[in-house]
Structure 1
Amino acid sequence: MTGAGAPQSAGWVARRLRELLERDGDAVRVRRGRILAAQGAVSAVKVAAGEATALVRGSRARPYRVSVITPVLGGQEWRTLARALGTQPVFGAALLAGAFPPEVERVFGVLGLRLLPERLGDLVLNCSCPDWGDPCKHAAAALYVLAETLAGDPMLLAEWLGRPRGELLAELRRHARAPRAVVDGAAALAEPDPPGVAEPDMPSEPAAFWRAPALPEPPEPGDTGRAAALAGPPPAAGAAEAAGAEEAADLAELLAPLYERLADTGHRGR
């Protein structure tokens, strides 16, 4: 049932959804659903945030309406994911090219998030038919076709989890283009200004130019307050940026094994 145009790297998505359906669902109904899907009884598959819907022809003239509901991720969770994936060139390039390598699921796991359901009970399957089976054959047929649809267009999986593809791709591109911190060599070698010392005004008389200004009184031993006043306040600018850089470094360290594995896989495939 796998479409010829489906990216190879996303076939695992369809396989995982089929496996949990066949493992957790009623065997008889699941088998009938597989037959319905193979016969082309499923149509009008639509994927939106939190819900995928389809029409399934059954014994009645009017097709049944099926919905497959999944929990969505929040905005902050998607922003963290976009930063984690977009700042790693191999992950970002794969997703921007429409591929969906299985290592992406591991990134979700590192961040404590779930990309795919772990069991059938993680999904809510509804059907307008009178069969109270969980799932009924129509819902099983719809899930089979939904699995192939997600494999053929992996970004629909992101939309199903609550992130429109345009927004996700834009965030991935933005993080991929974000410049790394660059050290200015000339600025690094320049003599820094002494902290807390104001530059004196030019004297009004020429003769006064050659007279050195009076030096400030040295602080008394133990006078930490005055020494701190002369040194000036500690630099607070850039604290937020430093915290963000530390967080990004921690995230990069967590993702390093997955990144190396994906990069090695790409090299072996060439």
Structure 2
Amino acid sequence: MNFTTLQELRLLSEQRNMSIGHVMLEEQCAESGQSSEQVFAQMAEYYQIMKTAVDKGLHENTTSRSGLTGLDAQRVMTYREQAEPNLGGAASEAMAYALAVSEVNASMGRVIATPTAGSCGIIPGVFISCQQRFGWSDEHMVYGLFAAGAIGYVIANNSFISGAEGGCQAEVGSAIGMAAGALVELRGGTPEQAIHAVGLALKNSLGLICDPVGGLVEIPCIVRNGFGAVTALAAADMALAGVRSVIPSDEVVQVMLEVGSSMPEKHRETAGGGLAQTPTGRKIMNDLRKK
């Protein structure tokens, strides 16, 4: 790739007079040796899997094998039909869609890791709800996925995307940053605004620990995906309004590396601390062992 930082990505986009998504498509073609048609078709297939996962999560039984989670997306959708959500229709829909995909993952369904299975609901929740609201084409959304991928590439190579290495800030936090930056671009924002959205999103996720109850990607992972989708929408709106990340986004990525590196091991996907070690969390783990 011809970029290693978000700043370099922005400059490359401006120099080529292209969106970040188009730049990433070009870079991926050069990296893989495949044609643009081949690379685009593969990403388009991924997007269809995301859409299928949202639909499945909203209409099928997503009770996990542990029995701990499932059907919360459908509960949110029912609530939206019966009352006016505090979030408003758009944000509550994105939240429901994110929950749906994450519940499909927990019930052993097919999802796309964006960037991980534990954070798989955030980008689909944001993208698919916004596509329906604004009437965007699938082609437009696929370029958005390339933009999200470019952002994720920078984060992964300069910090973490793994909860075991850097806590949940690395998984859910990265997904929020990817979704926020890509959404800015989908809405017609500039590359500079998109990069500011990444910094704004990541700053709100710093220090988030990875504390899965029972070691399963269910509690609190699923609800964090729902909250993450809402945060991504907020970060994108801030950036589109002209709000800037005063701390440059690349520096925020470095802070995520610093915070994750100093995070105690028990707060990094070991189920050894946090919510996993509450009295209720320990009881759930004991009950699961008996099963």
State TM-score, norm by structure 1.
0.31
| Greater relative contact order (CA < 8 Å, ≥ 6 in sequence) | 1
Structure with greater Cα Rg: 1
State TM-score, norm by structure 2.
0.30
Q: Which structure's residues are more often strand, by fraction?
A: 1
